């Protein structure tokens, strides 16, 4: 088990390094940050000075070496536009994105599992079909469109919820969270719902499929035939069967929520990492783009690693040597 | 149990009271369109950063809403000789900590931009002409320039004056934290949440007429529809850069109003003037042409005639533009009011093309940004439509500004769209029209490399004049010549707009700045 | 499981569900409309000379300067929305379709190779697929497009990169199951050539799950392309896909000029929903457990 864990860890480190190389080379292939950021009054000498200042006159491999040696000690460079360490900018925005993704996941799980269960138990009923239609809509509607519609209805027309931005925060562990204030929750609701819609559709489908599969199993049929009450069948046979895959998928999908938050944050002016990424791409703030990608990649690798290790722990067949 | 329910009641009360609190007359909530990257007023010369900084800091010279120079922290200034300027500071200007403004603070602030590390877009360009500064007394400072330079007062408008006591040894992070955010301006720093908002409070020490707002919140909402939605939902009192699509609707809403004026930003097309075979330009079959058609004034004139400027202003910009015939907007130093925008003349354009030897037209690629200027992508397409109709088959390449500038720097574009805002025609000529000359710093944005020694000399004479009347006449002449020779194709001057609650008023600014202290209740 | 009879049975099973049948016909209709777009459209929305900004943002039902009726209104360039939607449908379908076919092809080759070769080749291929799957599609596509620039070909490449791993895993799983079956072993023993074996025996059995994944992934591809266009990294503006049309109309949503993004949105919705419904039904039909 330990060797397995170590091997996975090594594999993750190699992935991260490879990604850093790709990302660095890629990001440095686009545009000309100096041309974009320089004051319009600047002359050629000023442009050359700024280029040298950012080290952009150096060959790419030297820039990468500089970056890499810094990265080893946790320094991903200074933001071009804020003169603040890029990693600092990202971490500063991380809580906002995390709480958005967390609430979205809670909405998706909290609504998706019951609705999916219902659709699985009564597949031919009209409400179940409506639920399935909803799940398809969740897949089909573009996030940006849904977001603006929600703003239009709930903020502009009804005036029930705030349209954009993040609400009041409270400090917990030195980090500001808006999750624990009423104002914060009011601001969170619409963007979280927008972000949750896709995953809601996914979870409804997963749960429904799992439920139907479980209902088709012999022992469940037997239990039902025996006259076991519906709720008991649900509790003893269906739920245990679907919960593990559903929870696993939910955990894995958390990473993708963070990525998809890019769009939601842009629409709702949510001061998270995703909005920062879009701003940084617009301003060609290369260190921040690289830092964002490396932080999210690390996050995904960590999530996957954790899920894998957990699986291996639960299911010895998954360890190397066994088949997947 | 009782504790918990009391908490609930408090929360509900808070919820209900939220509107009452936020609607208080003494607070102004403004939605900005551009991301603020740093509060350090000397770090990055970007409009959003300056908007925020100018609430807290001021400069020696100021400009009125029509971009004309007015006294700022210097109540007057004059050129003692062709190389020396003397600025007399206001005696009633005080920093937020109560200490008076002195010439030492000014000297420190003028030197600071050059000492800042790590910024690609700093303010060095605005102090490049400065050779030295001399503090004469606590309220007088002399600036010596390296060469006769009449635009020094304009340039110094961009350098904000910080407190030497607080900003000495302070880096950008000290401004972000508020520690060094001590200026002489109408508002003092309260709280900054990067990427979200800046909260300000009225300074009791400001020398000007007290601003009507006790508290000001500047929120950053770059997505256009979201900014409008926040105004419609009543969460903001003012938004800047109203999306053209929403102007009609807001005007119809009797709780809101729109205020607009001509912006200093001119939208123009740079045409390749230096390559025999510029990229993307071929005959209609895709084969290379014998010569660069854009070097022919008849072809440039045809392009200008083919562009239906009124239609673009009315249909594409939905009123947020006026047809341009000048390098600078109406009212700006050096504008020539007698120049008239080229009238739309499709037949004339075709005739000129035929005369120039292109009866069947040719192909070009029009390149420009899709996220920088008002409806830039739509303007590109509309121009392409019009040129195609005249026989110049036009392909559009619209891309984010970041990618676009990269392409331009690699000289991969031949017909490129650019927007330019300037305080004065001679300054604009120096950047846009003067033959590129790295040594003198001319033509850094003259992408087409248009070159006309006569215009260059007029521009040089203008900039060297410390006599403003003489300088404006020269600048105007240079501007006129550049327009007659179509050094570039002027398309339109943008119109800048603000939407606000109906009970507010704003002196709309040509330089597009949004200042809380210029909003008044009505 | 081979031959024509089961296919007929499956078709009958598919047909038993009314919703799925309607969805399939609607999908066929959409594809037909996309193919016939140049014939059905009153205007060629890609020919700049046919556009006139004097017709910009006209409400549905207005008559354009050129004489035809703008049934669904026009956008800010004076594009007839109906023509733009038909052509946009064509582009969206073409982009997603081509990307799906290429990704499927790569997935098929990779999956079969992995299943047949086993050992370290299998391990390497599946590790690569896992790596790919562990990164959210939007992030991968966003980076790729930011790096390579915009264009039809670039976006297809990005979609292929994002999707091949799904097919590879599906094919590998199906192939491993099939390879263990007796008839394959028997055929191998009887000296049937590998290619023939693949063509006659493996493929027909791998196709059903592949089709299921394919329809769902194609819907995802259409949606992803729309989102990328919204972020300004999609297709060229002068040849808008459905997603780009919606993104263009986005700024007009608050102004009451709903048609600029509503109708393309409706078309996109119809396309994605029908693809998903057909995919769902295929899964039900092919997967006996959930029947």
Closest Cα in chain C, distance from residue A181 (Å)? 30
Cβ contacts of C242 on chain A, cutoff 8 Å: none
pLDDT band at A315 (very low <50, low <70, confident <90, very high): low
Percent of chain B with pLDDT over 90: 84
The alpha carbon of residue B291 is apart from the nearest alpha carbon of chain C, in Å, by 25
pLDDT given for residue C74 in this prediction: 92
Q: Do C254 and B398 touch (CB under 8 A)?
A: no
**Chains within contact range of chain A (3+ C-beta pairs < 8 Å):** B, C
Which residue among A129, A136, A259 places its CB closest to the CB of C276?
Answer: A136
User: Which chain A residues are Cβ-neighbours of C127 within 8 angstroms?
Assistant: 11
Confidence of residue A1 (pLDDT cuts 50, 70, 90): low
Domain edges within chain B: 34-220, 264-495
* Structure-token match 């033959």, residue found: B435
Confidence of residue B25 (pLDDT cuts 50, 70, 90): low
Q: Which of B313, B372, B382, B412 to mutate to test the interface with C (most CBs of C within 10 A)?
A: B382
Least confident of A72-86, A179-193, B208-222: A72-86
Q: Which tops the pLDDT comparison, A272 or A145? A: A272
Q: Which CATH superfamily is domain B34-220 in?
A: Periplasmic binding protein-like II (3.40.190.10)
**Are A152 and B427 inside 8 Å of each other by CB?**
no
Q: Which residues of C touch A13 (CB under 8 A)?
A: none
Q: Taking residues B379-398, what's their average pLDDT?
A: 95
- Superfamily name and number for B264-495: Dipeptide-binding Protein; Domain 3 (3.10.105.10)
Alpha carbons C62 and C84: distance in angstroms, whole number:
16
Res B272 pLDDT > 50:
yes
Over range B27-34, report the average pLDDT: 95
Alpha helices in B168-271 (DSSP H): 172-176, 224-232, 244-252
B490: closest CA among B294, B297, B318, B341? B341
Residue A318 above 80 pLDDT? no
Residue B92 pLDDT more than 70?
yes
Residue C158: pLDDT over 50: yes
Phi and psi at residue B144, to the nearest 5°: -105, 135
User: Is pLDDT at B18 greater than 70 in this prediction?
Assistant: no
Q: Give the side-chain half-sphere CA count within 13 A for C269.
A: 16
Predicted confidence (pLDDT) at residue C226 exceeds the cutoff of 90 = no
For B309, name the nearest residue in chain C, comparing CA atoms only: C53
- Put simply, whether A255 touches C (Cβ < 8 Å) is yes
Residue A88: burial class (beta carbons within 10 Å; 0-12, 13-18, 19+): middle
Average pLDDT over residues B347-359: 96
Say whether pLDDT at B322 is over 90. Answer: yes
Among A23, A26, A148, whose Cβ lies nearest the Cβ of C250?
A: A148
Write the DSSP string, A41-93.
T--HHHHHHHHHHTTTTS-HHHHHHHHHHHHHTT---B-TTT-SBHHHHHHHH
The whole-number average pLDDT for the span B106-117 is 90
Cβ of B120 within 8 Å of Cβ of A266? The answer is no
Neighbours of chain C (3+ CB pairs under 8 A): A, B
Mean pLDDT for chain B overall: 92
Closest CA in chain B for residue A270? B196
Query: What confidence tier does A314 reach under pLDDT thresholds 50, 70, 90?
Result: low
Percent of chain B surpassing pLDDT 70: 95
Choose the weakest-confidence range: A113-122, B149-158, B264-273, B294-303.
A113-122
Mark yes or no for CB contact B155/A30 under 8 Å. no
Report helix, strand or coil for B194: coil
CB C102 within 8 A of CB C191: no
Decide if A256 touches C, using CB distance below 8 A: yes
Instruction: Write down the pTM of the prediction.
Output: 0.88
In this structure, what DSSP letter does residue A320 have? B
Distance CA B420, CA B234 (A): 33
What number of residues does chain B have?
A: 522
Nearest-Cα distance to chain B for C140, in Å, is 19
Subunit contact C138:A259, Cβ cutoff 8 A: yes
Query: pLDDT for B294-312, tens place per residue?
Result: 999 999 999 999 999 999 9
Per-chain mean pLDDT for chain A: 84
The pLDDT of residue A313 is 67
Report how far residue B451's alpha carbon sits from residue B458's, in angstroms, rounded to the nearest whole number.
13
Displacement of CA B60 from its chain's centroid (Å):
19
Residues of B in contact with C232 (CB under 8 A): 370-371, 400
Tokens of B345: 């003349």
The answer to whether B158 and B479 have CB atoms below 8 angstroms apart is no
pLDDT tens figures, B448-473? 999 999 999 999 999 999 999 999 99
Confidence of residue A316 (pLDDT cuts 50, 70, 90): low
Which residue in the set A30, A152, A266 is minimally distant from B223, CB to CB?
Answer: A266
Cβ contact C149–B395 (<8 Å) = no
Please report the pLDDT score of residue C209 as a whole number: 79
Residue A320 predicted with pLDDT over 50: no
Task: Assess contact for B425 and B335: CB atoms under 8 A.
Answer: yes
Q: Which of A236-240, B135-139, C138-142 has the lowest mean pLDDT?
A: A236-240
Q: What is the DSSP letter of A153?
A: I
A278 contact residues in C (CB cutoff 8 A): 231
Measure in Å the smallest separation between the Cα of B268 and chain C Cα atoms. Answer: 19
Comparing CB atoms, the residue among C149, C254, C277 nearest residue A152 is: C254
Q: Does position A228 have pLDDT exceeding 80, yes or no?
A: no
Q: Is B427 exposed, middle or buried (0-12, 13-18, 19+ CB in 10 A)?
A: buried
Residue B201 has pLDDT above 90, yes or no: yes
Q: A227 or B475, which is more confident?
A: B475
What are the pLDDT digits (tens) for B494-516?
Answer: 999 999 999 999 999 999 999 99
pLDDT-derived band at B487 (thresholds 50, 70, 90) equals: very high
Question: How close does chain C come to B310, measured CA to CA in Å?
Answer: 11
The yes-or-no verdict on residue B428 having pLDDT over 80 is yes
**Burial class of residue A317, CB neighbours in 10 A (0-12, 13-18, 19+):** exposed
Interface of A with B in 45-104 (CB under 8 A): 45-47, 49-51, 53-54, 78-84, 89, 92-93
Q: Which helix (H) or strand (E) covers residue B134, if one does?
A: strand B130-137
**B397 and chain C in contact, CB less than 8 A:** yes
pLDDT of residue B182: 96
- Contact check, Cβ <8 Å, B315/C56: yes
Would an 8 Å CB–CB cutoff place B367 in contact with chain C?
A: no
Query: How many residues are present in chain C?
Result: 291
| φ, ψ of residue A312 in degrees (nearest 5) | -60, -35
Identify the band that residue C257 occupies on the pLDDT scale cut at 50, 70 and 90. confident
Of B184, A197, B68, B189, the closest CA to residue C223 belongs to: A197
* CB of A115 closer than 8 Å to CB of A131: yes
What band does B13 get if pLDDT is binned at 50, 70 and 90? very low
Mean pLDDT of chain C: 84
């Amino acid at each position: 088990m330990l060797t397995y864990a170590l091997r996975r860890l090594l594999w993750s480190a190699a992935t991260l390094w490879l990604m850093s190389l790709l990302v660095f080379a890629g990001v440095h292939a686009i545009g000309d940050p100096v041309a974009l950021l320089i004051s319009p009054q600047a002359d050629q000498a000023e442009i050359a000075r700024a280029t040298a200042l950012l080290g952009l006159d150096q060959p790419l491999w030297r820039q990468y070496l500089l970056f890499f040696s810094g990265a080893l000690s946790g320094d991903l460079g200074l933001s071009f536009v804020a003169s603040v360490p890029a990693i600092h900018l990202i971490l500063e925005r991380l809580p906002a994105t995390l709480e958005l993704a967390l609430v979205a996941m809670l909405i998706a799980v909290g609504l998706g599992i019951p609705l999916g269960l219902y659709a699985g138990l009564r597949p031919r009923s009209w409400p179940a079909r409506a639920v399935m239609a909803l799940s398809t809509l969740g897949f089909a509607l573009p996030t940006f469109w849904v977001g603006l519609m929600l703003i239009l209805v709930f903020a502009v027309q009804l005036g029930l919820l705030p349209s954009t931005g993040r609400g009041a925060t409270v400090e917990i562990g030195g980090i500001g969270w808006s999750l624990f204030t009423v104002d914060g929750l009011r601001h969170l609701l619409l963007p979280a719902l927008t972000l949750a819609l896709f995953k809601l559709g996914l979870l409804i489908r997963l749960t429904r499929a799992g439920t139907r599969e479980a209902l088709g199993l012999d022992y469940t049929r037997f239990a039902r035939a025996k006259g076991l009450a519906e709720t008991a069948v649900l509790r003893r046979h269906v739920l245990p069967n679907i919960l593990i895959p559903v929870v696993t998928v939910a955990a894995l999908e958390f990473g993708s929520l963070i990525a998809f938050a890019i769009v939601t944050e842009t629409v709702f002016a949510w001061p998270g990492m995703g909005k920062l990424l879009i701003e940084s791409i617009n301003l060609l703030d290369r260190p921040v783009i690289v830092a964002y990608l490396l932080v999210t990649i690390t996050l995904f690798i960590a999530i996957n690693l954790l899920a894998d290790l957990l699986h291996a722990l639960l299911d010895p067949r998954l360890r190397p040597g066994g088949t997947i | 149990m009782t504790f918990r329910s009391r908490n609930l009641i408090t929360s509900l009360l808070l919820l209900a009271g939220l509107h009452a609190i936020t609607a208080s007359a003494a607070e102004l909530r403004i939605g900005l369109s551009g991301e603020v990257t740093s509060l350090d007023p000397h770090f990055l010369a970007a409009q959003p950063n300056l908007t925020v900084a100018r609430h807290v800091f001021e400069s020696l010279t100021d400009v009125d809403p029509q971009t004309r120079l007015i006294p700022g922290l210097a109540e007057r200034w004059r050129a003692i000789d062709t190389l020396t300027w003397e600025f007399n500071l206001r005696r009633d200007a005080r920093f937020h900590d109560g200490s008076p403004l002195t010439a030492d603070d000014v000297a420190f602030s003028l030197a600071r931009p050059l000492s800042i590390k790590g910024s690609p877009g700093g303010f060095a360009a605005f102090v490049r002409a400065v050779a030295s500064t001399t503090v004469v007394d606590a309220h007088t400072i002399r600036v010596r320039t390296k060469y006769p330079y009449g635009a020094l007062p304009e340039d110094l408008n961009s350098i904000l004056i910080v407190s030497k006591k607080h900003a000495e040894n302070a880096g950008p992070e000290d401004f972000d934290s508020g520690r060094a955010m001590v200026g002489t301006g109408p508002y003092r720093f309260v709280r900054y949440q990067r990427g979200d908002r800046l909260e300000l409070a009225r300074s009791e020490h400001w020398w000007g007429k007290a601003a009507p707002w006790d508290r000001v919140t500047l929120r950053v909402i770059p997505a256009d529809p979201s900014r409008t939605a926040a105004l419609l939902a009543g969460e903001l009192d003012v938004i800047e850069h109203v999306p053209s699509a929403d102007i009609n609707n807001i005007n119809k809403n009797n709780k809101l109003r729109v205020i607009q004026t001509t912006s200093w930003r001119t939208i123009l097309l740079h045409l390749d003037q230096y390559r025999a075979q510029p990229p993307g330009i071929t005959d209609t079959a895709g084969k290379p042409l014998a010569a660069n058609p854009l070097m022919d004034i008849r072809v440039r004139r045809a392009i200008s005639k083919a562009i239906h400027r009124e239609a673009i202003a009315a249909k594409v910009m939905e009123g947020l533009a006026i047809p341009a015939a000048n390098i600078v907007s109406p009212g700006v130093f050096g504008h020539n009011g007698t120049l008239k925008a080229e009238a739309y003349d499709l037949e004339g354009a075709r005739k000129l093309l035929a005369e120039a030897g292109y009866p069947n037209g040719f192909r070009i690629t029009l390149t420009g940004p899709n996220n920088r200027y008002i409806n830039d992508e739509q303007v590109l397409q509309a121009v392409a439509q019009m040129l195609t109709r005249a026989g110049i088959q036009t392909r559009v390449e619209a891309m984010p500004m970041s990618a676009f500038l990269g392409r331009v720097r690699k000289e991969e574009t031949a017909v490129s769209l650019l927007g330019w805002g300037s305080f004065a025609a001679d300054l604009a000529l120096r950047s846009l029209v003067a033959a590129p000359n790295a040594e003198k710093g001319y033509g850094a944005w003259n992408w087409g490399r248009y070159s006309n020694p006569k215009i260059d000399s007029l521009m040089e004479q203008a900039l060297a004049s410390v006599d403003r009347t003489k300088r404006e006449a020269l600048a105007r002449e240079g501007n006129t010549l550049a327009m007659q020779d179509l050094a570039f194709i002027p398309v339109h001057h943008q119109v800048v707009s603000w939407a606000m609650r109906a009970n507010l008023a704003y002196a709309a600014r040509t330089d597009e700045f949004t200042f809380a202290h210029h909003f008044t209740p009505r | 499981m081979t031959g024509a009879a089961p296919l007929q049975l499956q078709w009958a099973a598919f047909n038993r569900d009314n919703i799925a049948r309607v969805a399939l016909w609607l999908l066929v209709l959409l594809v037909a409309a996309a193919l016939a777009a140049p014939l059905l459209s009153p205007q060629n929305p890609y020919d700049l000379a046919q556009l006139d900004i004097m017709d910009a943002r006209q409400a549905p039902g207005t008559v354009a300067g050129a004489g035809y009726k703008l049934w669904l209104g026009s956008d800010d360039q004076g594009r007839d929305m109906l023509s733009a939607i038909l052509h946009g449908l064509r582009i969206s379908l073409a982009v997603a379709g081509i990307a799906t076919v290429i990704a499927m092809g790569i997935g098929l080759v990779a999956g079969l190779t992995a299943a047949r070769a086993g050992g370290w080749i299998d391990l390497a291929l599946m590790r690569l697929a896992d790596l790919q799957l562990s990164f959210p599609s939007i992030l991968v596509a966003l980076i790729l497009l930011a790096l390579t620039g915009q264009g039809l070909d670039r976006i297809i490449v990005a979609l292929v990169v994002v999707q091949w791993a799904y097919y590879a895993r599906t094919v590998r799983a199906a192939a491993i199951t099939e390879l263990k079956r007796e008839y394959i072993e028997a055929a191998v023993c009887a000296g049937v050539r590998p290619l023939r074996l693949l063509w006659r025996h493996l493929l027909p059995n791998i196709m059903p799950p592949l089709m299921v994944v394919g329809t769902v992934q194609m819907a995802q591809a259409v949606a992803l392309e729309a989102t990328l266009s919204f972020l300004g990294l999609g297709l060229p503006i002068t040849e808008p896909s459905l997603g780009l049309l919606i993104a263009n109309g986005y700024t007009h949503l608050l102004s009451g000029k709903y048609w600029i993004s509503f109708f393309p949105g409706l078309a996109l919705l119809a396309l994605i929903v029908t693809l998903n419904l057909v995919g769902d039904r295929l899964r039900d039909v092919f997967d006996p457990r959930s029947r």
